[in-house]
A and B are shown apart, each in its own frame.
Chain A
Amino acid sequence: MTTLHYVVSSLDPAAATYTAVIPAGEPWLHPVRRGQTLRILDLEGNQAVDTLFYNLHRPEERYSAADTVRAQGALYLTAGSRLMSTEGNVMLTITADTCGRHDTLGGACSCESNMVRYALDKRPMHSCRDSFLYALSQYDGGLTKRDLTCNINFFMNVPVTPDGRLTFADGVSAPGKYVEMRAEMDVLCLISNCPQLNNPCNAYNPTPVQVFIWDTGAVA
């Protein structure tokens, strides 16, 4: 029996020091400092938010899906999950979650994987990895395709069955659901607001999301 736990935040959006709307299909690259809290808000519901984190000062240390799964002994991310780096350090801790489950196995869509998964003529469709690569090309931090590794898919539901099947289920998210995480080190956050139209991860209609950042020590 699947159990989803919800943890509501007490942070006030009006007190956030930064906010931005990420339109459907666009990337977002922004630092989040140690002690700051990042919220990602699913404005219209069922929108996958492909997310990577790097150590802001030493980006060869980055989010590791495998270390996160191994360290918590569980596949899905929710409140309490510690997002681990490739060097075994906690990068961020999920502190609030009104969605209840987020994926970190499904990776990011690309034109190459769309050709394999759906049809050879899907190559021209916009994809998360195109957004990631474009964002990195505009960033003067030396990051390249080599730095694109297995990401988090906030608001995406990719259940694994006990017999090892992996399915892309309809989202467990809805308009107004959010996930919030506290940075335990200075990180660079790279988001692709997913443009995938070939499966239900965005309910076949990609929509905008909103990000908020609160400063160190922010309380209700």
Chain B
Amino acid sequence: MAQHLNPIPPDRFLWEERVPGGCHWSGVLRRGQALRLTDLGGRANVSALFFNAHEKLERYNMADTLKAQHTAYLTRGHALYSDMGHVLCSIVADGSGWHDTVCGVGDAALVASRYGQTCYQTHRNAMYRNGRDGLLVELGKWGLGKRDLVPNVNFFSRVVADDDGRLHFDLAHSRMGASVDLRCDMDVIVVLSAAPHPLDPRADYAPSDVMLTAWQCGPAGPDDVCRNACPENQRGFYLTDLLFR
């Protein structure tokens, strides 16, 4: 469920950066640091992948995340699991209420067919960027590439399935100013693209800018909402804590 997000305590603030709609970003966040994503215009989609900063073979695993928590989407209380049974990061607050996990990213062909052809030569930095190429560029900065392009999270996008599994993009879901807070439970490489969701049916290319805000939140305590969301997460956080003993 969408909730009101608390202000970040000024003495814990680390940094802030605006990612223009369509653009890509990556960086390292350490255990106990939090990242707030904010949809500045009401049409943001943030495609995200997460890797263990010390062992990049360990990465976000969509299936393990969904199976452990019996969910097809993510919101407050959910952990994002690696393929090694560890919690890379977890959602400690959520003003959006639903983040898509199954639809992946669009590629250059999809963006060109939906929005028209643009290129740097004619449009300079207003060219229509796509999620796949944006993620690949950022992955390359860490020695990663096509082999690491696994199913990603799409923050701020809600896609629902009917009984036959057909998917419907929820146009009413996004809201200007909506935020989601991710706490890093390990040292992670965060890779982001702010290109449109691949099932967003709107005809114009107008992904909103996204504000990234990082602060020192501290690791998950014994009463943490994500740790205690289900017995699976209690075990997952326990196994993650072992890495830092």
Is A172's CB within 8 Å of the partner chain B?
no
Q: How far is the CA of A217 from the CA of B164 in the complex (A)?
A: 32
Q: Which of B72, B85, B146, B167 contacts A116 (CB 8 A)?
A: B85
Mark each residue of chain A from 1 to 43: 1 if its CB lies under 8 Å from any CB of chain B, else 0. 1110000000000000000000000000000000000000000
Judge whether B71 is part of the interface by a CB distance below 8 angstroms.
Answer: yes
Instruction: Mark interface residues in A107-141 (1 if CB within 8 Å of B CB, else 0).
Output: 11010110111011000000001000000000000
User: Once the chains are docked, how many angstroms separate the CA of A1 from the CA of B107?
Assistant: 33
Q: Name the interface residues of A145-176: CB closer than 8 Å to any CB of B.
A: 145-150, 160-162, 164-168
| Pairwise interchain contact B107-A88, C-beta atoms closer than 8 A | yes
Stretch at the interface among B5-13, B21-29, B58-66, B119-127: B58-66
When the two chains form their complex, are residues A120 and B62 in contact, meaning their CB atoms are under 8 A apart?
A: no
B54 beta carbon closer than 8 Å to chain A: no
What is the 8 Å Cβ interface bit string for chain B, positions 83-114, against chain A (1 contact, 0 not)? Answer: 11110000000000010001111110110000
B81 touches A116 (CB 8 A): yes
Contact between A149 and B160, CB atoms less than 8 A apart: no
Q: A116 touching B236 by the CB < 8 A rule?
A: yes
Across the interface, which residues of B come within 8 angstroms of A148, CB to CB? 83
Residues of A within 8 A of B146 (CB): 60-61, 86-87
Contacts of A119 in B (CB 8 A): 235
Give complex CA distance A117, B65 in Å: 10
Interface flags, A40-62, vs B, CB<8A=1, else 0: 00000000000000000000110
CB distance from B218 to the nearest CB of A (A): 23
Query: B64–A113 contact, CB under 8 A?
Result: yes
With A60-B145, A116-B81 as contacts: A150 and B63 at CB distance below 8 Å: yes
Q: Which of A88, A146, A150 contacts B151 (CB 8 A)?
A: A150
When A107-B62, A112-B83, A116-B235 are in contact, do A74 and B72 touch as well, CB less than 8 Å?
A: no
CB distance from B108 to the nearest CB of A (A): 9
A95 within 8 A of B: no
A218 at interface, CB cutoff 8 A: no
Asked if A105 and B62 make an inter-chain contact with CB atoms under 8 angstroms apart, the answer reads: yes
Known contacts being A73-B199, A74-B166, A105-B62, is A167 close to B70, with CB within 8 Å? yes
**Is B2 located at the chain interface by the 8 A CB criterion?**
no
> Of A3, A115, A129, which is within 8 A of B239 by CB?
A115
| Residue contact A166 to B70, C-beta cutoff 8 Å | yes
Q: Which residue of A lies closest to B75 (CB)?
A: A164
A113:B68 contact, CB within 8 angstroms = yes
Pick the interface stretch among A63-71, A181-189, A202-210.
A63-71
**In chain B, residues 160-204, which have Cβ atoms closer than 8 Å to a Cβ of chain A?**
160-167, 198-199
Whether the pair B109, A65 counts as a contact (CB closer than 8 A) is no
Instruction: Identify the A interface with B (CB < 8 A).
Output: 1-3, 60-61, 64-67, 69-70, 73-76, 86-88, 101, 105-108, 110, 112-113, 115-117, 119-120, 129, 144-150, 160-162, 164-168
The 7 closest A-B pairs by CB, nearest first: A107-B63, A66-B104, A112-B85, A75-B165, A76-B165, A66-B151, A164-B73
Mark B residues whose CB is within 8 Å of A. 57, 61-64, 66-68, 70-73, 81, 83-86, 98, 102-107, 109-110, 145-152, 160-167, 198-199, 232, 235-236, 238-239
